Structure 1
Amino acid sequence: MTPIVVTGGTGSLGRRVVRTLLGAGREVVVLSRRTRPVAGGSRFVPVDLRTGAGLDAALAGVGTVVHCATTLTGGDEQSAAKLFAAAKRAGVAHLVYISIVGIDRIPLPYYKTKLAVERQLEASGLGYTTMRATQFHELIQFIFATLGRSPIVPVPSIRFQPVDTRDVADRLAELALGEPAGRVPDFGGPEIRDAKSLARAYFAATGRRRLLVPLRVPGRIMAGYRSGHNLVGDRFDGTITFEQFLAERATRRPSRFTDAGDSGG
């Protein structure tokens, strides 16, 4: 069997994809510009997707790539172009991409970038699978950890369908072990919650009391969230709830998080 490459394989999602693939008995190569520890049994190759240096060597003999690397600071489109071109040269048969629910209907700049990468992949000539997921538990935790620095917390009147990265990683690994499927059904968390109930859950789990103040934010971006374009709605694929996630992490410090992907590529 040919190796599977995971870009951003040291990030919050990527490292879980790596573990799942290793558990399935596959050889895994982790690509990242960050020299963090990787799952035992995988092989680490330092590659900066922004420059593309070392990509051709890293993809030689590889059958499948799972592209988890992303960053909020810009450059995803350029990195993806280099990755997809190198994958094409190497004869990679399958490229799996993790994206975000609602990127074509909510005009966030980061979402526009994710949509542009989806379109690049569709036009690349590669066999591909794209899956969009709802917001990760880590993102919701990070939002309220940041807002909770103040005793008064503004809470927008919007809903989320948060999902655990372990559930998403399992599905991505399953897709990577299969054949290219194009755009597959969106992947949603186990429940739809309004932001206020998620805020209450977070502050209860962390033992802090905060005054939650409803806030209606104008503009097209928040209108997209109020319309529920960030939700799957008819699919509840995840199994781990936000409360279960919080119970496991109650003593941990929230980390900086990048929505539906991992930094490090």
Structure 2
Amino acid sequence: MKIAIAGATGIVGTHVHRIARERGHEVVPLSRSTGHDLEHAAGTGSALADALTGVDTIIDVSGIQTLSRHRSIRFFESVSEALQTAGVAAGVRHLVALSIVGIDGVDASYYGGKLAQERAVQRGALPHTLLRATQFHEFAEQTMARGSLGPITLVPAARVRPIAARDVADRLVTLAEGEPLGRARDLSGPRDERLLDMIRRVIRARGIRRPTFEVRLPGLFGHAMESGHLRGTPDADRATLTFADWLDSDDAR
């Protein structure tokens, strides 16, 4: 099978690329580093369609680091439009897209863009499978970097059920190998965690001395994180790699 990966150099995309190749698939990476600016690809001719020639399935794990709802929506709608248009032109048969567990009713900040992406996938011409997953184990270190303020780190109050990015990637490749499902079963991590505790474990594992403080974020975005709404429901499929075990693995180094 020939699989194109939108966002192939990101946290999940690198795992998708490796797993797909290990399973014997031909992979077409789509990212800025490979000459594909997906956000600005719509309406620019057949370059992206040419790259998708012979592709059976697109896995969309593209992303942007922003807390701006407007910026997030613009990015995900633009990427979705480009992939839909080029995919149809190239005869792609299946689009698999990654979203976030529990974002219904949280049309704010980054999540507003993910909801817009889901709508674009669902109304698009390409047969699709939409997978929602919980926050990644890798999210802790990303948050630590963004929340560093001088000698301290500020951590959003959040109850999460984190999952390893490679477990998400494995599920995405499995879904890409199958027929379009529409909405797939949600995928979550094995156990509940506080984001503050996760970051403190990362700091200890890195041998860093850095005070960390939990802060409550305002609005729908902050409430969704603090309430535990983003952990998913009990009927979600659960991966098995805990945050503690992930932190001891090669993926965390």
Shared fold per TM-score greater than 0.5: yes
Paired amino acid for 1:245: W
Greater helix content: 2
Q: Distance in 1 between matches of 2:251 and 2:32?
A: 30
Paired amino acid for 1:239: T
* Pair 213,109 (structure 1): closer, same or farther in 2 beyond 3 Å: closer
Paired amino acid for 1:51: A
Q: Which residue of 2 aligns with 1:218?
A: 218
Task: Give the CA deviation at 1:196.
Answer: 2.9
- Identity among equivalent pairs (%): 39
For the 8 Å contact 1:158–1:195, the answer to whether it is kept is yes
Q: Which residue of 2 aligns with 1:89?
A: 89
User: Per-residue displacement from partner, 1:78-128 (whole Å, max 9, x unpaired)?
Assistant: 121121012122221111001112332323332111111111111112210
* 2:26 paired with 1:20: no
Q: Which residue of 2 aligns with 1:61?
A: 54
Paired amino acid for 1:6: I
User: Per-residue displacement from partner, 1:169-213 (whole Å, max 9, x unpaired)?
Assistant: 100000000000001111111211122321331222122344444
Task: Give the CA deviation at 1:11.
Answer: 2.0
For the 8 Å contact 2:106–2:220, the answer to whether it is kept is yes
Task: Give the number of equivalent residue pairs.
Answer: 241
Q: Which residue of 2 aligns with 1:51?
A: 41
For the 8 Å contact 2:138–2:252, the answer to whether it is kept is no
For the 8 Å contact 1:105–1:229, the answer to whether it is kept is no
Q: Distance in 2 between matches of 1:111 and 1:104?
A: 9
| Runs of at least 5 residues in structure 1 that lack an aligned partner in the other structure | 36-45, 253-265
Task: Give the CA deviation at 1:152.
Answer: 4.1
Q: Which residue of 2 aligns with 1:139?
A: 139
Q: Distance in 1 between matches of 2:145 and 2:121?
A: 35
Q: Distance in 2 between matches of 1:92 and 1:61?
A: 7
TM-score by length of 2: 0.85
TM-score by length of 1: 0.82
Q: Which residue of 1 aligns with 2:3?
A: 4
* Pair 123,137 (structure 1): closer, same or farther in 2 beyond 3 Å: same
Q: Which residue of 2 aligns with 1:71?
A: 64
Aligned-residue RMSD, C-alpha: 2.3
Task: Give the CA deviation at 1:223.
Answer: 1.5
Between 142-151 and 200-209, the greater mean CA deviation after superposition:
142-151
Give the alignment of 1:1-265 within 5 angstroms. Answer: 2-35=1-34, 46-49=35-38, 50-52=40-42, 53=44, 54-72=47-65, 74=71, 75-148=75-148, 150-234=150-234, 235=236, 237-248=238-249, 252=253
* Pair 129,208 (structure 1): closer, same or farther in 2 beyond 3 Å: same
User: Per-residue displacement from partner, 1:205-251 (whole Å, max 9, x unpaired)?
Assistant: 12234444443333222122222221114236222222233234699
Q: Moved runs in structure 1, 4+ residues, more than 6 A?
A: none
Between 194-203 and 131-140, the greater mean CA deviation after superposition:
194-203
Looking at both structures, which has the greater relative contact order when contacts are Cα pairs under 8 Å and sequence separation is at least 6? Answer: 1
Q: Helix, strand or coil: the match of 1:119?
A: helix
